[in-house]
Every structure is written in C-alpha cells, then in structure tokens.
Amino acid sequence: MLATLTTLPEPVLDLRDLLNTYLEPEKVAVVLRAFEVGDKAHEGQTRKTGEPYILHPVAVARILANLRMDYSSVAAAILHDTIEDTPLTREEIESRFSEEIADLVDGVTKLDKMKFRTRHEADAESFRKLMLAMSRDLRVIFIKLADRMHNMRTLGSMAPESRRRIARETLDIYAPIADRLGMNGIKSELQDLGFANLYPWRHRTIAEHISTVTGDRSEIIADIHKALKRKMNEAGIPCDIKGREKTPYSIYRKMLAKDLSFSEVNDVYAFRIITHSEPHCYLALGAVHGLYRPRPGKFKDHIALPKPNGYQSLHTTLNSPFNLPVEIQIRTQEMDILAEKGAAAHWQYKSGETTSGSAQVRAREWLMQLVEVQRHSTDSMEFLDGAKSDLFPDQIFVFTPKGKIIDLRRSATALDFAYAIHTGVGNKTTAVLVDKVEVPLSTRLENGQTVKVITSESAHPIPEWLAFVTTARARTAIRHYIKSLEQADTVALGLRLLETALNSRGSNLEAVPAKRMDQYLKENNFERQEDLLTELALGNLLSSVVAANLAPNVSTLPEGGETEALSIAGSEGSAVAFAACCRPVPGDNIMGFLSAGKGVVVHRVQCRNVRELRKQPDHCINVSWAPIRRGMFEVALHILAKNVPGVLANISSSIGEVGSNIEKIEQPEANPETATLLFIISVKDRDHMARVMRRLRRNRNVIRVSRIIA
C-alpha cells in the first residue's frame, strides 16, 4: 500500500511535483512506490549528517528529475544503494519493478563484498564494472554522477582525510566523465565542489577575489550587456543574453596552466548569447565582431567541428573599450540544453530523431573504445590508468581520406590514429601518409590534417611502439599482442628444453604417460602443462630435474654422449636473451645459460663470464644457430677516428651503406687529434659484421676498428 500524500516527506513531495511536470501519472506512481520500498529497506540507517539515509537517494533522484530523465532512471536512483547496503536483492527489485530498473541498480552497485588486496584495487574494479555497465546503458553513469554530486554537496560531515580522497577521485574521474558526456552543468559543480574540499583555502581565496572583482566591475559589465543587446536588436537577431561567471576551479586551472596570478586572469566574467537557429549564431558572431574588435587566435567554431562530447557553440574573445577582455559564447537554445545536459538530454525528447543523438552517439563510441581497452587489460588498475589518461579531452580533429572526422588527444601520433580506426588496422600498420606525405609512425598529428594508413598482412606490433603512442587504446592493443606473442614463444622454448632433456634420457614427451604428467603437474601446483613449460623457459625450473621426474626409470646417455643442441633462430622473443657482455651474432660459437626469470641467456664461448657460468653445469645447455635466422643482432664496435668536423656523420654514413642500423653511439674520450667512439650496430650475422668492419677500415677518417669483447 503506497504511503498517503500527507505522510510523504517534503523532499518526496517536491520530487513528485517535479516529475508531474513531464511524466504520466502511472510512471510517477512507480517512482513513489520505489520510495516506499527504499524507505523500508533503509529503515534505521542514517548518514554522517544525522538525517535518515533515504533522503540521500531521494536527492539523487531529484537531480535526475531536473535533467528530465525517464521514470526508470529516477526509480533506480531511489533504490541505487539498496543492493549494497540493505538485505534487498536484485531479484526482489526485478520482481517488484522490472528487469530494466534492476539492471540499472545493479550497474551502480559497488563491489565492496569482494576481497581486494588494496583500497585502490577495489576502487579500480568498481570503476571497471561501472564503465562496462555504462556501455550497456548510459543511464547507469547518469545515476552515478547524480549520486556523486549529492555526496559532494554533503561532504562536510566526513573526516578531512576522507573529504580529500573523495574530492581527488571526483576531480580525477567523475568530473572528466561528465565532461566527456557533455554534461557541463554537472561537470562544473563537481569540479568546484572537488576543488573546495581538496584545497579549501585556495577555493575560498579565489571565490572572494571573484566576488570583489565582480562587484567592482558591475557597472562596466552592465554597460557591456546593454551594448551587446542593442547590437543584436539593430541586427534583427532574436536572442537572450546571459552573464556567465567563471568558477573558482576554472580560474585556478588557468592560473596553473599559464603560471598567472589572479590579477592577470582578467576574463572572470563572460557572456552567452542564446539565439534561435544556427544561421542566427553566425549573424550574431558578425555583429559582436562589429561591436568590439576580436582578439586574434581566440575564435573557435565548435558548431562546424563539435567537441568529442557533442558540444556545439561559437567562442570568441573581444577587446572592450574598458580594457577588459570579453568572452562570448554563441549557441542555439537546443545547443545550450545539450551543453548543460549532454548525453542526458536525449531523454528530454519524445523522439530519438533529434540532434541530441550526436552527443548520444559520441558517448557510445567512446564507451565502446573503453570496452575494447578493458577487454585487453590484464587488471583493473591498468584499465583505470588507461581510462583516466583518455578522460582529459585536450583534443585534435583529423580526417580520414573519405572525410570522416576522427578526434584524438592532442599528443596523439600517426600510429594512434591507426588504432583509433580499428585495432586490426593499428596492428597491421606499415606506413602512414599525412596530407599525402609519408611520415614516421611516431609523428605527432595536428588539427585538420588528412591521414591515410597503409597496412600489410605481414606487419605486427613491436615493443618500440610503446615508447611513443599516447592513447590507452593503442597502448593496450600493443601490450596485448606482445604478451600473447611472448607467451607463445616462451611455451615453445620450454617444450624444446624439456624434449631435449628427455631425449638425453632416451625418452620423449610422447612416451611420458598422461597419468604421470598429470600427477607431476598436480604435485607442483601447475594448472596446465603450459604453466610448467613457461617455468622451464624462464629458468625457474631445470629441465633435467623435470625430465628425471617424468622419466625416472630411463637411463641417461652414457658419459661423454652428446645431447641435441637447442636451435636458436633469433625469433624466440623474450624467452631467449643475448648477453650484453659479449653480444653474440650468428656465426659465433655460443653456449646457453638458464637464468632464473630471464630464460636462456646466450653467450659467446669466448666470453670472459663463461668460466664462472660453467661452475653451474646444471644451468648450462648446448645451443647452436638455426640454419635460417630472423631479425637483426646487436654487436658492439670500438672505433678510433680522426677528430675532424663531420666525422660522426661520415662514419654513420659508412655503416648505413652496408645495410646496418646504428642502435647507440657513445664518445667516452677525445683529444684534438683523435676521438674514441663506441657504436652498437645491428647486423644479420658474422659475415655482415665483417663487411661493416671492412667498409669502416676503408674510411679515411677511421684509424682503427675492432669488435668489443667482454
């Protein structure tokens, strides 16, 4: 039985009256029934402020009602803490209301009942779940943002340390999410409340300065407002002109970014011109430019090129006769609604066929990118870091050859663009053309450029790409590919090591009974055979010891018998490392050493460290070069050269002429006559290295060249 109108608390009556302005009575009744269920579930619970707990979800629901959200969202807002904080279950909510409302409540619920190693990990996992729920239904984040906003409004009752933590989280995550969704009203309030609780003295000082400056300039501001209104009337442009105060947080950010004092931040007050249509916006722009001279470089057309969150408006800054810069925003009424409510404005319209869809679509595209990032992330903390890096939209706009606009963060590279098109495109990228000119993949892109990606089926990501890509999507895709590749390489090497050890005992892996293998895996806490092979490849287990356990009744080779050498092709990935002390290349005599955590480390037999390594015979293995090698191998050269202008470029040219790349150059010493140079170059094999050295010896500036031997 629904509570009678006279017994409803005043905040609920206010909520009901607000809902009645845009919802049908039967839908308002569902919200009131949600209050009755929530009130009973939260009975006896109070907030830190001392008020009944139910008033918090009611306040959250009112924030959503002010956005004119649908009744399911408002009802879910009232119930949003019940699954987490009361005995009420998701199943009960679904049976009493609907699957839709139950899904919304479940999407907002935190994961406090799960066990995490740290508080940060719990927050990261909650954020991950929230983002995935958002991708299914945007209304989840609208409820969460409203919840955070009311919590911030009542944060004063919390302990100082909790206030700072929640304020930092609000500024780092929730305000940027609101901004990414185009919800400027909520974003601004979250930023200002976060700033006030994180840095109360700074916020109070700036707010007082704003109040003082606004009071001192009140007559000037009134004169500018009258002049703007008169100019619009003369031009026959129907409009509404509003004053727009800058918030303490926006001024603080500007002071930090440009290293300015408060007195240097002049544009504390600005104006917004709201007119009827897009053509009126451009007419208004011409009118204000005719009133006051515009400042060069301060005009932005976000109508023709909307922001990633769908925001549209014209921005310009004028020089007024009062020595006060005047910031102007010009937009239509619908653009103004979208600027304040962003993707949430979609629910204000009866039909989905409105321009509000642009904000909705852009929000959905961004969320789908986040879903792809999380799919390839190894843990919640990595996902949170990646998502946060993409939440701050210092954006640029570039074009595909077909004219599609792609928005990227300002530091994005040509390779980031390829991954923005599709992960498969990024992984297969071989070259990128910017304005029809081929550029390095690491090239930073700029606004307005046209970018074309060239791909090849034989191409694949390499670890060096991680050094310059900037977007979470690109980083995550590259890491995922490399990790999967390295895992496959590692397992393959472990298999070869185990087979070699079993062969030395006159056995092989196929001859090991499945029962014995399963027992060995169980006794040593391995879930799969691949886990055992990985430990072997990484040197954490000795293959000879494992082979003795798997084939205990098989005799080893007679003393002096040769075991099959492990074949090294250079394509084993991180499972095989080439020692930096001697830098072996194909053609050198080599030996292998199993190093815990590093796998097989290959040394030249002549390396001075080999004698010490031989003292651990169980860790030493026979290795040889495969007939077909892949990739390039590093070698170190010591060059004594004449100390003349251009000698470094001259020697580098000689190395390049023989098809070798220079990886590193050092100059440990020099005098007026000679210079000692240390080059690390990449070669295919020992013969290639010899050709490089012969070419260097023919260089008239080279006195002596030799290979560095440890």
Residues tagged active-site:
84-85
Q: How many CB atoms lie within 10 A of CB 216?
A: 10
Name 108's Cβ contacts closer than 8 Å, sequence gap at least 6.
Answer: 76, 80, 130, 133, 140, 143, 144, 147
CA-wise closest residue to 331 among 315, 318, 342, 346: 315
Asked whether the CA dihedral 272, 274, 278, 279 is positive or negative, the reply is: negative
For residue 412 the two structure tokens come to 């994005």
For residue 512, the SS3 value is coil
Task: Give the helix ranges, DSSP H, for 462-528.
Answer: 472-503, 514-523
Q: How many CB atoms lie within 10 A of CB 10?
A: 8
For residue 647 the two structure tokens come to 């000698």
Q: What is the SS3 assignment for 41-99?
A: HCCCCECCCCCECCHHHHHHHHHHHHCCCCHHHHHHHHCCCHHHHCCCCHHHHHHHCCH
Burial of 673 per CB tally in 10 Å (0-12, 13-18, 19+): exposed
For residue 553 the two structure tokens come to 């009744």
Count of residues for the chain? 710
Q: How far apart are CA 133 and CA 531, in angstroms?
A: 33
For residue 81 the two structure tokens come to 């803490």
For β-strands 405-409 and 395-399, DSSP reports them as antiparallel
